[in-house]
Amino acid sequence: MKFGKELASQMVQEWQGAYMDYNNLKTLLKHIMIFKQRNALTSSPGPAPRSGSLKRRLTMYRAFSGLTGRRGSPRKNDDEVILVSSVHEEGSENHYQTMFLRSSEEGGEYELVFFRRLDEEFNKVVKFYKEKVEEVKVEAEELNKQMDALIALRIKVDKPLGHRVVPEVKVGNSAPATVIASVNGVKQGGAHMDVIQEVEMSSEGSMHAKSFTPASLDVLDHVKINVEPDKPVSTLRNVIKSSKSDLSFSKNELRKAEEKLRLAFMEFYRQLRLLKSYCFLNMLAFSKIMKKYDKITSRSASKAYLEMVDKSYLGTSDEVNKLIERLEATFIKHFANGNHRKGMKSLKPRNKKEKHRTTFFLGLFSGCSIALVAAIVTSIHAGNLLNHERRGQYMDNIFPLYSLFGFIFLHMIMYGSNTYLWRRFRVNYPFIFGFKPGTELGFREVFLIASGLSVLALAAVLSNLDMEMDPRTESFKTLTELVPLGLVIVLLLITFCPFNIIYRSSRFFLICCAWHCICAPLYKVTLSDFFLADQLTSQVQAFRSLQFYVCYYVWGDFKRRSNKCLESDIYKFMLFVVAIIPFLSRALQCLRRLFEEKDPMQGLNSLKYFSTIVALVMRTMYDQRRGSFWKVMAASSSGVTTIYSTYWDIVIDWGLLRKNSKNPWLRDKLLISNKAVYFLAVVVNILLRLVWMQLVLDFNDAPFLHRRAMVAVVACLEIIRRGIWNFFRLENEHFNNVGKYRAFKSVPLPFYYEDEKIM
């Protein structure tokens, strides 16, 4: 793999603008090479050399460095190509400037441009790295203060009757250690130990005992507990009183504080590792580009420039390495009970590996699905079921049951396609969604789940494709008619299965996000929460299918495939309630963000969802009362919400239609080089939004489709529109993170210092 591609694959995507622009510098070197090739062609006598042999012919005239390496070095004046110096300007930091000493030579202006650009890139990298190092040093100081409070709280909670110092204990021949023991005894294997061993290492490596000074408890007089409004109770507490509460010195309080600090340390460690990787990749990039320059120009400038790189802040700063070492030691000692393997496993989660069995089962299930589809088509054709007299009965009673699985399958296919495209275009979707590292599902895993669901659903359809009633009992087979209900129960059992099978981490993450959507606005809104809520607004027909399950199997006569659901006023009312719940949840999330973030755009966004709810209400009133007045109200409200939502999708969520951007009527940064894709997506979104109005106004159905089938087709088109929206919405979020260099999660800390001067 070429280094340019390797650099692009390993860089922190949110920092991509802060890395050395290797491709641009490589382009400048190509200009130098092209000039030298042309110059060699015009100056050499005789016929022009072939292009294939030109590169080799130029290399034949390079200076010979010898075979043994014992040759004397050339004179300094002949070898000196550049002079690198550090320039200080008032009001700004030092920056590095390279003086090219051969600018008077023919083609020297190309090399001069190269070194100017190289200096700009190096100063940019050094400045960014220095800023990030200063940030992590400030964060390290804050974590120090948090640990002081945590240790004091541990002593207060675990040793309520006081603590005493145990005399020195000899470890080995001459290795004394000091042990602090609790009067309450010793706990082994718990969340923390009541016996704390402090071993001091001297510079020579021998251990010496020092008189142990227990952590001061005075710090607890100056701290309070941060009550983050991330749960219903904490949200209500913040509304009623202050977000800071006094310490209660309970074990539950200590456990929560330890968990928050543990997560903060893990995220800080990830930040330090990425910063270390940033430093290493950039230093390697400067080394690569300078060696490429030497190769093209046959000069020896890389040594002088790389010496400057090594002596710069980028090469000499070791704050990050020291912080990593200290953080590892602290985490292992205080959060892993001294277990090095356990601590490092938490700090360095293993990268997710692609498994061959995933690909195998994906192919197996996909082949089975195709075979089942062929079998269903053959059965329908052989039995002439499309013209059967009981076709209408089947569509009214059985088709809504199985359409639920079709909606879920299609949504998973769209999400799997999105994950494939996000990974291909290097969108850091695991970080944006907040997945636990190494647990996110790739497109293969998503397609595997979707294909597995399709096999179950298609097999159930094939087993329940009988339209002939038993003439003796005048009913269908009970077991066959219960197949759809059994399949729903199986899916629910898999979803809520507590065992570590079938991607438990992802299932629980989905359940938590869904619960947050249901309880909106009592939970703090994260991107994964409102992203899922947006998906649910496109699954209204799926929720109505679940409602039909309840009515059909509880109050209907499923043995005779008959129901009176549509004759019930309660059922009709619940159709309306089920339709507006996802939009209401999303609107409440916007109001929660408006209250917390003071962002007026969230208020406007909530109005968009409320307008959709109004449209649904008007449609319901029109269905119940009819009349031209209610028809006009339903049409006008639906038109307003369609225009409002379409504008919001394209301009706000996608960030497109920017008149003065670098890409006219799009946005400054684009992931896809073909701009026509974005204009096509805009047109498709508008058309599918207009199709969505069919759900609100209930336009005349297509004569060649059953009414139930028409509803399912419109619902599928809405799911497809949502899938397209997902890609461009996350692309825009990705560029927002890149523009603000947001590569880390903000982890709330447990303690609040009333006096910031206290350390």
- DSSP secondary structure of 217-234: SGGGGGEEEE--S-SHHH
CA gap 633, 630 in Å, rounded: 5
For residue 429, the model assigns a pLDDT of 92
Q: Are 556 and 564 in contact (CB under 8 A)?
A: yes
In the Cβ-directed half-sphere of 723, how many Cα atoms lie within 13 Å? 21
pLDDT beyond 60 at 656: yes
d(CA 567, CA 545): 17
Say yes or no to pLDDT of 46 above 80. Answer: no
The region of weakest confidence among 245-254, 347-356, 407-416 is 347-356
* Whether the bond into 437 is cis, omega within 30 of 0: no
Q: What pLDDT was estimated at residue 69?
A: 47
**DSSP secondary structure code for residue 475 in this structure:** B
Residue type present at position 170: K
- Give the CA-trace dihedral at 269, 307, 104, 34, to 10 degrees: -50
In this structure, what are the phi and psi dihedrals at residue 736, rounded to the nearest 5 degrees? Answer: -65, -40
Rounded to an integer, what distance in angstroms lies between the CA atom of residue 179 and that of residue 209? Answer: 10
- Exposure string over 573-598, b if 16+ CB within 10 A, otherwise e: ebbbebbbbbbbbbbbbbbbbbeeee
Instruction: Locate all alpha helices (DSSP H) within 551-599, ordered by sequence.
Output: 569-597
CA distance 744 to 741: 9
Residue 236 has what pLDDT? 63
The region of weakest confidence among 288-292, 297-301, 312-316, 539-543 is: 297-301
94, two tokens: 């030092």
pLDDT of residue 108: 80
Closest Cα partner for 62 from 392, 284, 297, 317? 297
In this predicted structure, which of 220-229, 299-308, 397-406, 492-501 has the lowest mean pLDDT?
220-229
Task: Please answer whether residues 100 and 113 qualify as being in contact, where contact means their C-beta atoms are separated by less than 8 angstroms.
Answer: no
Least confident of 41-45, 268-272, 304-308: 41-45
pLDDT of residue 210: 44
The pLDDT value recorded for residue 703 is 62
The CB density around residue 218, as the number of other CB atoms within 10 Å, is 9
Backbone φ and ψ of 179, nearest 5°: -120, 130
Percent of the residues in the chain that have a pLDDT greater than 90, as a whole number:
44
| Confidence at 206, pLDDT banded by 50, 70, 90 | very low
C-alpha of 635 from chain center: 39
Nearest alpha carbon to residue 140 among 280, 279, 330, 347: 330
pLDDT of 3 over the 50 cut: yes
Question: Could you tell me the sign of the dihedral formed by the alpha carbons of 38, 40, 41, 43, in that order?
Answer: positive
DSSP letter (8 states) at residue 628: H
Both tokens of residue 680?
């096509």
H or E, element range at 325: helix 319-335
pLDDT band per the 50, 70, 90 thresholds, residue 415: very high
**Which has more confidence, 364 or 195?**
364
Q: Using an 8 Å Cβ cutoff, are 523 and 596 in contact?
A: no
pLDDT interval class at 638 (50, 70, 90): confident
* Alpha carbon distance 712, 708 (integer Å): 6
Asked if the model's pLDDT at residue 70 lies above 80, the reply is no
Pseudo-torsion of CA 356, 358, 361, 366, nearest 10°?
Answer: -120
In degrees, to the nearest 5, what angle opens at C-alpha 332 toward C-alphas 756 and 268? 50
What is the rounded average pLDDT of the residues 94-107? 79
The answer to whether the CB of 492 falls within 8 A of the CB of 549 is: no
Q: What is the C-alpha end-to-end distance of the chain, expressed in Å?
A: 50
Average pLDDT, integer, range 725-730: 96
β-sheet bridge partners, residue 99: 83
- Would you state the pLDDT for residue 727? 96
d(CA 1, CA 554): 62
Q: Residue 588: which pLDDT band, with cuts at 50, 70 and 90?
A: very high
Beta-bridge partners for 98:
84
CB 482 within 8 A of CB 400: no
* pTM of the entire predicted model: 0.82
pLDDT value of position 648: 95
Average pLDDT, the chain: 82
Give me 201's structure tokens: 């290492």
Q: Which residue, 732, 590, 742, is CA-closest to 652?
A: 732
Which residue has tokens 């430093």? Answer: 279
∠ CA 629-635-637, rounded to 5°: 100
| pLDDT of 11 over the 70 cut | yes
pLDDT score at 24: 92
Is pLDDT above 80 for 245? no
Q: Give the tokens for residue 643.
A: 């225009």
Q: Count of residues for the chain?
A: 759
**pLDDT (0 to 100) of residue 331:** 92
Sequence letter at residue 166? V
- Determine the Cα–Cα distance for residues 277 and 18; give it in Å rounded to an integer: 13
Tell me if 15 sits within 8 A of 125, measured CB to CB: no
Distances in Å between the Cα of 179 and the Cα atoms of 159, 186, 189, 208, 348 are 15, 12, 18, 13, 30
Average pLDDT over residues 82-100: 76
Q: Would you state the structure tokens that stand for residue 23, as one six-digit string? A: 């491709």
Q: What is the pLDDT of residue 368?
A: 97
* Most confident listed range (85-89, 187-191, 662-666): 662-666
Q: Which residues share a beta bridge with 562? A: 557
Average of pLDDT values for 419-444? 90
Query: Does 76 score more than 70 pLDDT?
Result: no
How far is C-alpha 173 from the chain's CA centre?
Answer: 53
Q: How far is CA 352 from CA 403, 440, 495, 670, 737, in A?
A: 34, 9, 22, 28, 23
What is the C-alpha to C-alpha distance for residues 45 and 103, in angstroms, rounded to an integer?
26
Residue 51 in this model has a pLDDT that exceeds 70? no
| Interval 483-511: pLDDT, tens | 999 999 999 999 999 999 899 999 999 99
Rounded Cα distance between 754 and 245, Å, is 11
Pair of tokens at residue 522: 């009592």
| Among 66-75, 117-126, 211-220, 361-370, the least confident range | 66-75
**CB–CB of 560/476 below 8 Å?**
yes
The residue written with tokens 């002081």 in the block is: 148
In this prediction, residues 319-347 reach a mean pLDDT of 91
pLDDT digits (tens, 9 = 90+) for 553-570: 998 888 889 888 888 888
- Residue 678, pLDDT > 90, answer yes
What 3-state DSSP class applies to 95? strand
> What is the reported pLDDT for 62?
54
Residue 243 and residue 262: Cα distance in Å, rounded?
Answer: 21
CA-nearest of 586, 613, 615 to 602 is 586
Q: Mean pLDDT across the stretch 645-670?
A: 92
Q: Residue written as tokens 């400067």?
A: 286
CA distances from 574 to 346, 404, 516 (A): 47, 17, 22
pLDDT exceeds 50 at position 27: yes
Whether residue 710 contacts residue 702, with contact meaning beta carbons closer than 8 Å, is answered with yes
Query: CA–CA separation, 254 vs 260, rounded Å?
Result: 10
Task: Please name every residue paired with 197 in a beta bridge, in sequence order, or none if there are none.
Answer: 179
